[in-house]
Amino acid sequence: MKSVVLSILAAALLAGCAAAPSERPAAAGAPVQAAAPANAAPVFTTEDKWERAGYNNEEVVYTILITNQDSRILRCSTHMQGYYFDQGKKTSIADQQLSTVFPAQQVKAGIWMDMDQPSGATYQVKCKPV
pLDDT digits (tens, 9 = 90+) for 54-77: 888 888 899 999 999 999 999 999
With beta carbons less than 8 A apart as the criterion, state whether 130 and 75 touch.
Answer: yes
Among 16-25, 35-44, 76-85, the range scoring the smallest mean pLDDT is: 16-25
Top-tier CATH class for 44-129? mainly beta
pLDDT tens digits for range 78-101? 999 999 888 888 999 999 999 999
DSSP code string of 72-106: S-EEEEEEEEEEEEETTEEEEEEEEEEEEE-TT-E
pLDDT of residue 31: 53
d(CA 128, CA 130): 6
Residue 45 CB contacts under 8 Å (≥ 6 apart), including other chains: 66, 67, 69
Task: Supply the pTM of this predicted model.
Answer: 0.68
